Chain A
């Protein structure tokens, strides 16, 4: 039996990470202009948030319809701290992530007791609240008009939004780190506990897993992923509006998880890539864009219910004896 690519994909940590690194390294050869780089960077940033959300939805089986709230808090936290208050961007990013982690911890304790639709409603409410606060705190956030964000500078090196190559490299490295951390977590006692409580909460709890604690852990971890992605997006874009915090963005993130493949870390990247890149390349059909996206989503749910990446891998495996 041929060793690559099947074995590679079957060993997600070693083979998968190497394959992803290779793709990320080769991609600039195909990206022929600044626009392509721009799309790739946006895909990478979205993918980081989606990988985190997939830990919550795909692995632990808990829903969040308010994750754009955490994404937005990271974005506005970085914007306000580094812009208004002149903090170094890296410090602003870390401080925002810490604040988001604290908020997720405090909010998560009461609402993660809820299940299914109730949890969906509670997280939806949480997202709407964050949206309202950001939209109404005009003095701090600029309100509905948004606010500008200074460029990213790391260790004295300034990365302007126009510096596509450097941004691409940064996002690629961070994406690899995000995947590595997620894969480590999934294949750890914490990750096994999460997958276990997804399958049977009752069996997990009598087996010694503190179910409430583990739901809270993954909620906080996924919030931090979103916050970091938000901070970076804000610096890259140079300008943010409450749209980044809104309900539609939360839905978009969940759609990326489902489309790419639940409980598939690499699938999260595929989901982000499709939903971010496709509209960019469908501009010729601009008026029909939502129709096409909707059709793709419906087709995917009918023919590849497990999501794009796991679905396609299943098909490939089924073809081979």
Chain B
């Protein structure tokens, strides 16, 4: 079953065509990776899917419903959630509170009950806190529960964003470079975490530069270059694709090394 279908999607910024006529589908229950050199349009694509940008042209369907142009908070309510490449955590709030914001749509949140702290709000907040603590435990951040996010180390914040997104009960989770800036141990932890998320029945779309991570866990890989689809297929097919190797060698030699090494 297809959970996300993108059809003939275009996004222009002035004269720059960030995404050009892109079509692809994501199968429910899979780990679907999107790779490509810097500037290929990966983050733009995420911003289009999550409603932060309106497409210049084309269609996006989530669970067979057209979603292009819908506000992000409504998409979150449908089960479409994401993390960010450049961290977007709520610095002044504790780790637990950060995750509790992720539960926003699943708890009571009336203004008057909030002002008066009515029993319904107290109960619903307590449940939200418990669930958030479970999620912090799930991503391995229990130790930071009461720490302001601004004081947490970088690697932990990457996982905090994942916990916050999971709190929104995603059907589809978009991870934008979850391992960027992480060392080998942290990357391994992220790897395991993504697999556990997928095992819980959540479809994962992953943008990532760490090729061994991508090649290891992806069911399907989409390669972007200059906003267009360059190639699509399983890890083995992508490794063997001459156009992919060409693109990586042509623009970013360094990235081609792990690709080639894995192919060997």
Residue among B82, B92, B165 with max Cβ neighbours from chain A (10 Å): B92
Residue of B nearest to A199 (CB): B90
Set A187, A191, A207: member contacting B164, Cβ < 8 A: A207
Residue of A nearest to B109 (CB): A189
B101 touches A204 (CB 8 A): yes
Q: Which chain A residues lie closer than 8 Å to B128 at the CB level?
A: 189
B115 touches A200 (CB 8 A): no
Q: Which chain B residues lie closer than 8 Å to A298 at the CB level?
A: none
Set B52, B76, B92, B98: member contacting A208, Cβ < 8 A: B76
Residue among A181, A184, A189 with max Cβ neighbours from chain B (10 Å): A189
A189 touches B104 (CB 8 A): yes
Residue among A190, A203, A217 with max Cβ neighbours from chain B (10 Å): A203
A192 touches B52 (CB 8 A): no
B109 touches A199 (CB 8 A): no
Q: How far is the CB of B92 from chain A (nearest CB, A)?
A: 6
- B143 contacts partner chain A, Cβ-Cβ < 8 Å: no
A190 touches B76 (CB 8 A): no
Q: Which chain A residues lie closer than 8 Å to B84 at the CB level?
A: 202-203
Q: With the chains together, A181 CA to B164 CA distance in Å?
A: 27
Residue of A nearest to B169 (CB): A208
A199 touches B89 (CB 8 A): yes
- Count the A residues whose beta carbon is within 8 Å of the partner chain — how many? 28
Q: With the chains together, A200 CA to B105 CA distance in Å?
A: 17
Q: How far is the CB of A46 from chain B (nearest CB, A)?
A: 21
A193 touches B82 (CB 8 A): no
Q: How far is the CB of B151 from chain A (nearest CB, A)?
A: 14
- A259 contacts partner chain B, Cβ-Cβ < 8 Å: no
- B41 contacts partner chain A, Cβ-Cβ < 8 Å: no
A208 touches B82 (CB 8 A): no
Main secondary structure of the interface of B (DSSP, over half): helix
A184 touches B114 (CB 8 A): yes
A209 touches B101 (CB 8 A): yes
- A153 contacts partner chain B, Cβ-Cβ < 8 Å: no
Cβ proximity bits A194-212 to B, threshold 8 Å, 1 near / 0 not = 0110111011111111110
- B54 contacts partner chain A, Cβ-Cβ < 8 Å: no
A208 touches B73 (CB 8 A): yes
B73 touches A188 (CB 8 A): no
Q: With the chains together, A257 CA to B45 CA distance in Å?
A: 41
Residue among B73, B76, B93, B107 with max Cβ neighbours from chain A (10 Å): B73
Q: Which chain A residues lie closer than 8 Å to B111 at the CB level?
A: 190, 217, 221
Q: A188-B114, A189-B114, A202-B88 are in contact. Are A196 and B101 (CB under 8 A)?
A: yes
Q: Which chain B residues lie closer than 8 Å to A185 at the CB level?
A: 114-115
Set B50, B73, B91, B93: member contacting A209, Cβ < 8 A: B73
- B177 contacts partner chain A, Cβ-Cβ < 8 Å: no
- B100 contacts partner chain A, Cβ-Cβ < 8 Å: yes
Those of B43-98 within 8 Å (CB) of chain A: 50-52, 71-73, 75-77, 81-82, 84, 88-93, 97-98
Which 10 pairs across A and B sit closest by C-beta, in order of nearness? A188-B114, A203-B88, A208-B76, A189-B109, A208-B105, A199-B90, A184-B117, A200-B88, A205-B72, A196-B101
Query: Residues of B at under 8 Å CB distance from A?
Result: 50-52, 71-73, 75-77, 81-82, 84, 88-93, 97-98, 100-102, 104-105, 107-109, 111, 114-117, 121, 124-125, 128, 161, 164-165, 168
Q: List 9 A-B contacts (CB under 8 A).
A: A188-B115, A190-B114, A192-B93, A193-B101, A198-B92, A208-B76, A208-B102, A209-B73, A217-B111
